[in-house]
Chain A
Amino acid sequence: MVNQQLSTPTTASRKQTLIIVGNGMVGHHFAEQLVESGALAGFDVTIFGDERHRAYDRVHLSEYFSGRDAQSLALCDADYYQTHGIELRSGEAVTAIDREVQVVMTAQGRYSYDQLVLATGSFPFVPPIPGNDSEGCLVYRTLDDLDAIQAAAKNATNGVVVGGGLLGLEAANALRGLNLDTAVVEFAPRLMPMQVDSEGGELLKEKIETLGVQVLTERATQRIEPGDTSRLRMVFQDDTVLETDLIVFSAGIRPQDTLARECGLTLGERGGVVIDNQCRTSDPHILAIGEVALWNQSIFGLVAPGYQMAKAAVATLTGGDTCFNGADMSTKLKLLGVDVGSIGDAHGTQHPGARMFRYLDPLTQVYRKLVVTSDGKKLLGAMLVGDNSVYDTLLQYYANGIELPKEPASLILPQQSGAAPALGPDALPQTAMICSCHNVTKGTICSAIDAGAADLVSVKGATKASTGCGGCTALLKSVVDHELEARGVEVDKSICEHFAHTRQGLYDIVRVEGIKTFSELMEKHGNKETHRLGCDICKPAVASILASCFNEPITDAAHVPLQDTNDTFMANMQKNGTYSVVPRIAGGEITPDKLVVLGQVAQKYQLYTKITGGQRIDLFGARLEDLPAIWGELIEAGFETGHAYGKSLRTVKSCVGSTWCRYGVQDSVGMAIQLENRYKGLRAPHKIKFGVSGCTRECAEAQSKDIGIIATENGWNLYVCGNGGMRPRHAELFATDLDDEQLYRTIDRFLMFYVRTADRLQRTSVWRENLEGGLDYLKEVILEDSLGIGAELERQMQHVVESYQCEWANAISDPEKLKRFRSFVNDARPDPSIIMTSERGQLRPA
């Protein structure tokens, strides 16, 4: 593209050249919308981003210090743009726009455009205080900013955030994450002056101070100078001082409109590129979206309005009719763990005559305020501090103009019997906005359900609802459940007709009552109406639960009729009724002697051999009656069962690690073997795969596993709930720099919690997606032991570890069990219907 021909006349047959300046959240969303609308057929698209990272989630930036990395914050996979034929030029800042000839300039070249989209976002406002450029004065906006803060924090014990608004408190959270003594300095008389009033601000201050963050309000900093006890000293207007090692300015944002200003686009008085409802600027070839755009004298500093602008801009380019008509700035936040919600005219200042209701509970530190019309019928605004549980309901009253109950105060009073019930999903009109990030209404959700989406996950997939900020998760679930029920879809969670319990319910019953057999469970808790044999749903599920709890051999007489055929015969049935055999090769490490034995056994029993994706060797075509003899030879050579047939731990894949690899920082093979031997035999709701990589190059692909472990200089980073297969999912970073013991303990708890709470045949990835509270909740339970069950989970796992025995070794020592491995009870000869043919030097089913 560099130095290409300058602007040529547009003709209908030629694709237009579209340049996007800015690869932040809104710029990325715009590109996504282009892809989804099919507009790429008409445009060649190039994106310029001045940061070196591709678009990432700025909303959750402070999590960078609590474990998330650039990769996990990224908004798309590394090859997303390439896949769709979009050119992303990261780290290449646009330096000028020449509107005359329709060209943008960068340090690397000149690029002509037919259409230009400005999505340059904003920059942090740094108050003009003398000394604000001292070393240790930083801002909070980009990943590079965070790296700078982290570097400065290395030799620091305390830090100050200038700005007590939304972003300031986010920044304070980040400093706490770096273990600094943190203070917040705010110019206004209270925190979050835009969102809350003085009562709310006072409560917020109290709550934040309880967390050990110092809050100074009504402080104007006069100058910053070198300190005595710390690196810097801030001098305030009343001559009081505060010493600190670093200062983060987070006192609001300003539109990043330099390019627009220099090329003469119309700007607002206080900056921002003026746009109309189609997101057009004063130049018909240039659009602007996001925080750089000024619509109706307003800059929108939230992601949802930016996304709406992106959508409107795509419509403008493709001849659609979606417009940007302003956006609701209602917002729900959790800052430093404190809920803050603000809806509409929260201060009641825009509606003369508005009436207000307030509720303040100083003990539980909850403050709620309603602003209603003078007739008390409509909600104009609301303010919440300390508890956002009523936010969703209030937002629906506000956004949809739903008439308030006779006593509006009932909406903010503590719920007692007889109080007004929360607004149920059925009360919402079809136009009710459920997910404002992706502009999903209740009507869209209903259409998705009518089109076949039959559960929460499918609705999310079909509509993208709740995949942005995630704030609407609970509301979405209640709407989906309600709509499914309304369509007669049983939201009955009974596992099958034999038990009126979920899998989780059965698990709890088995554990609490110590029930050890299926027949006892059926006797005590089965559905009395039915024949009481169970079925192919509940029997394997109960077999798995019993094995998770007590770990008795699955081939014991009481358990064997419960097992799927693969567990019964401890091998994987193939399509012609023969089985495949997979011995355990822990960590993928195998001695030459054992390799030779595998070859010999395969030759002797005429087995087809193939290397699996989990670094082991699969022997196919074993006849039922040969399985005991095959295993006799394998066990003799030191092999044990690989549980390839079970809903249980499969493999722990590893790279070669520091033992051989020049990049490795830990012994990944050693760790993989440790882990595989620890968890082998654990039966779970579904199969479980691990991966262990010896460095961040991630050659073991650990992030596509249920449990992924990546070595660091200091220990191990733990990732959870990834998946390959049909619906790939990146594992999420769960804990960092664990030592070996911490790693085992965390995985013990995690796996047992999964075993305890997942549905039958639910992989960790789907379990995680359905888990209310998401990753944060999981961290609370596992890492902080918020349910107080950590020790119990560890004990249960210890029992499984200690009671492990190789199922095949157990079976071949018991003639009764071996009786099952007969082709026919009245003829020892093999089944003549199994016919093999040869291909590429091996046998395969004919």
Chain B
Amino acid sequence: MTATALIPTNRNDTWQPLCTRADLVAFSGVAAWLNTPEGPAQVALFYLPGHAQELYALDHFDPFSKAYVIARGIIGDIKGSPVVASPIYKQHFRLEDGQCLEEGEVRLRTWRVAFKGDEVWVEG
């Protein structure tokens, strides 16, 4: 387990290593803490090995149930776009931009994410 200290920072360059490839679950999600300018945030990291975009980082917070559960949703694709379904009330959120497919005005925050070697880096 990668234990990254959660130190609030004000730096502009905020790419941070959150975990390693081995911490991810293929075709599913895990939760991680991320430092952001607004304070620590819970993010959901999704891993789609072999796909054009392999990594996604979205809010772990589900605005419908108000619980931190998005990383535990099922991954799928609807009309060609990869999505995650909330495990509580089953709304779908597009992985690339967090857009909710059922409610036009609801959108999860997303962050840029990439592998550096085996490490998973997210821009806070």
Within the complex, the shortest CB–CB distance from A615 to chain B, in Å, comes to 27
B27 touches A824 (CB 8 A): no
B3 touches A826 (CB 8 A): yes
A826 to B87 alpha-carbon distance, docked (Å): 22
- Please measure, in the bound complex, the distance between the C-alpha atom of A823 and the C-alpha atom of B73, giving whole angstroms: 15
Nearest chain A CB to B15 CB, angstrom units:
14
A618 to chain B, nearest CB (A): 18
Q: Are B32 and A531 in contact (CB under 8 A)?
A: no
A568 interface hit (Cβ, 8 Å): yes
Determine the distance from Cα of A723 to Cα of B44 in the docked complex, in whole angstroms: 39
Residues of A within 8 A of B67 (CB): 575-577, 833
Partner of A557 from B18, B26, B75, B80 at Cβ < 8 Å: B26
In contact, A533 and B77 (Cβ under 8 angstroms): yes
The answer, yes or no, to whether B88 is at the interface (CB within 8 Å) is yes
B42 to chain A, nearest CB (A): 7
Interface residues of B in 17-69 (CB under 8 A from A): 18-19, 23-28, 30-33, 42, 45, 48, 65, 67-69
Which residue of B6, B25, B73, B81 is within 8 Å of A827 (Cβ)? B6
Q: A576: nearest residue on chain B (CB-CB)?
A: B67
Known A-B contacts A561-B26, A831-B42; A825 and B48 likewise in contact (beta carbons under 8 Å): no
Contact A535 B19 (CB under 8 A): no
A261 at interface (Cβ–Cβ under 8 A)? no
Contact A833 B19 (CB under 8 A): no
Is B1 engaged at the interface, CB distance under 8 Å to the other chain?
Answer: yes
A807-846 contacts to B (CB < 8 Å)? 819-820, 822-828, 831, 833
Contact (Cβ within 8 A) A564 B42: no
Contact between A833 and B74 (Cβ–Cβ < 8 Å)?
Answer: no
Contact with B along A62-80 (1 / 0, CB 8 A): 0000000000000000000
User: A530 on the interface (CB 8 Å rule)?
Assistant: yes
- A535 partner residues in chain B, CB cutoff 8 A: 74, 76-78, 83, 85
Q: Is B79 an interface residue (CB 8 A)?
A: yes
Cβ–Cβ contact B18 & A561, under 8 A = no
Docked-complex contact A561 and B6, CB < 8 angstroms: no
Contact flag A565-B72 (CB < 8 Å), given A533-B82, A535-B85 = yes
Cα A833 to Cα B73 in complex, Å, equals: 18
Residue B90, interface by CB 8 Å = yes
Contact across chains for A825 and B74 when beta carbons are under 8 A apart = no
A569 to B82, CA, bound (A): 23
The answer to whether A497 touches B33 (Cβ under 8 A) is no
* A560 part of interface (Cβ distance < 8 Å): yes
B33 to chain A, nearest CB (A): 5
User: Is the CB of A532 closer than 8 A to any CB of chain B?
Assistant: yes
Q: Does B4 contact A (CB under 8 A)?
A: yes
B12 within 8 A of partner (CB): no
Contacts of A819 in B (CB 8 A): 23, 25
Q: Which residues of B contact A577 (CB under 8 A)?
A: 65, 67-69, 88
Q: Is the CB of A532 within 8 A of B77?
A: yes
- Closest chain A residue to B82, Cβ basis: A533
A827 touches B28 (CB 8 A): no
Map CB proximity to B onto A520-563 as digits: 1 under 8 Å, 0 otherwise.
00000000001111111001100000000000000001001111
Complex-state Cα separation, A823 to B23, whole angstroms: 12
Chain B proximity mask over A195-206: 1 for CB below 8 Å, otherwise 0 = 000000000000
Given A531-B81, A560-B28: A822 and B76 interface contact (C-beta under 8 Å):
no
In the bound complex, what is the Cα–Cα distance between A540 and B24 (angstroms)? 21
Judge whether B88 and A575 touch: CB under 8 Å: yes
B77 near A530: Cβ-Cβ < 8 Å:
yes
Do A831 and B74 touch across chains, with their CB atoms under 8 A apart?
A: no
Cα distance A564–B76 in the bound complex, in angstroms: 12
A673 interface residue, CB < 8 Å from B? no
- B interface, how many residues as a size bin? 35 or more
Check: A247 CB closer than 8 A to any chain B CB: no
Partner of B87 from A497, A534, A573, A820 at Cβ < 8 Å: A573
- Whether A573 lies near B88 (C-beta < 8 A) is yes
Contacts of B82 in A (CB 8 A): 531, 533
**Residues in A whose Cβ lies below 8 Å from that of B26:** 557, 561
A536 CA to B88 CA in the complex, in Å? 12
Tally chain A residues at the interface, Cβ within 8 Å. 35
Q: How far is the CB of A228 from chain B (nearest CB, A)?
A: 77
| Distance from B124 Cβ to chain A, minimum over Cβ atoms (Å) | 12
Query: Would A826 and B32 be within 8 Å (CB), given that A497-B78, A573-B87 are in contact?
Result: yes
Taken together as a complex, chains A and B put the C-alpha atoms of A551 and B74 apart, in Å, by 21
A566 to B26 Cα, complex, angstroms? 18
| Residue of A531, A575, A827 touching B3 (CB-CB under 8 A) | A827
| Residue in chain A with minimal CB distance to B43 | A824
Which residue on chain B has the smallest CB distance to residue A566?
B87
Tell which of B19, B74, B81, B88 touches A826, judged by Cβ atoms closer than 8 Å. B19
CB–CB B25/A561 < 8 A: yes
Are B2 and A826 in touch, CB under 8 angstroms?
yes
A822 to B81 alpha-carbon distance, docked (Å): 28
Q: How far is the CA of A539 from the CA of B87 in the complex (A)?
A: 14
Q: How far is the CA of A533 from the CA of B68 in the complex (A)?
A: 24
Please, which residue of chain B has its CB at the minimum distance from the CB of A538? B76
**Residue among A536, A540, A573, A823 with max Cβ neighbours from chain B (10 Å):** A536
Q: Mark A167-181, 1 if CB is under 8 A from B, else 0.
A: 000000000000000
With known contacts A532-B77, A536-B90, A825–B72 Cβ distance under 8 A: no
In the complex, which residues of chain A have a beta carbon less than 8 angstroms from the beta carbon of B4? 826-827
**Which residues of chain B come closer than 8 Å to A534, judged between CB atoms?**
76-77
* Interface bits B80-96 vs A (CB < 8 Å: 1, else 0): 11110101101010000
Please measure, in the bound complex, the distance between the C-alpha atom of A533 and the C-alpha atom of B28, giving whole angstroms.
Answer: 11
Distance in angstroms between the alpha carbons of A533 and B94 in the assembled complex: 13
Given A824-B32, A825-B1, A827-B3, A561-B81 contact (CB < 8 Å):
no
User: Is A536 a contact of B23 with CB atoms below 8 Å?
Assistant: no
Minimum CB distance partner of A540 in chain B: B74
Give the residue among B28, B72, B76, B90 with the most A Cβ atoms within 10 A: B76
- Evaluate contact between A833 and B3: CB separation under 8 angstroms: no
Are A833 and B28 in contact, with the CB atoms below 8 A? no
CB distance from A517 to the nearest CB of B (A): 12
Chain B residue numbers with a CB within 8 Å of A539 are: 74, 76
Question: Are A825 and B32 closer than 8 Å at their CB atoms?
Answer: yes
Closest to A575 in B: B65
Bound Cα distance from A566 to B77, whole angstroms: 21
In whole angstroms, how far apart are the Cα atoms of A820 and B80 in the complex? 28
Judge whether A820 and B3 touch: CB under 8 Å. Answer: no
Which residues of B are found within 8 Å of A564, using beta-carbon distances?
74, 87
> Once the chains bind, are A823 and B77 in contact (CB under 8 Å)?
no
| Alpha-carbon distance A563/B27, docked complex (angstroms) | 11
Cβ 8 A contact of B31, one of A562, A568, A823, A828: A823
Selected contact of B30 from candidates A822, A828, A831, CB within 8 Å: A822
Chain A: minimal CB distance from B118 (Å): 13
Set of chain B residues within 8 Å of A560, measured between Cβ atoms: 25, 28
B28 close to A561 (CB less than 8 A):
yes
A831 pairs with B68, CB closer than 8 A: yes
Expressed in whole angstroms, the Cα–Cα distance for A745 and B3 within the complex equals 54
Distance between Cα atoms of A561 and B32 in the complex (Å): 18
B78 touches A822 (CB 8 A): no
B48 cross-chain contacts in A, Cβ below 8 A: 533
A 478-510 to B, binary, CB cutoff 8 A, 1 in contact else 0: 000000000000000000010000000000000
18 A-B pairs whose Cβ atoms sit less than 8 Å apart in the complex: A531-B82, A532-B77, A534-B77, A535-B77, A536-B92, A560-B25, A561-B25, A562-B74, A565-B72, A575-B67, A824-B31, A824-B33, A825-B1, A826-B1, A826-B32, A827-B6, A831-B42, A833-B68
What 5 pairs between A and B have smallest CB-CB spacing? Answer: A535-B76, A531-B77, A565-B87, A561-B27, A577-B67
Residues of A within 8 A of B (CB): 497, 530-536, 539-540, 557, 560-566, 568-569, 573, 575-577, 819-820, 822-828, 831, 833
20 additional contacts, CB 8 Å, given A577-B68, A833-B68?
A530-B77, A530-B79, A530-B80, A531-B80, A531-B81, A533-B82, A534-B76, A534-B77, A535-B76, A536-B85, A540-B74, A560-B25, A561-B74, A564-B74, A565-B87, A568-B28, A573-B72, A825-B23, A826-B2, A833-B42
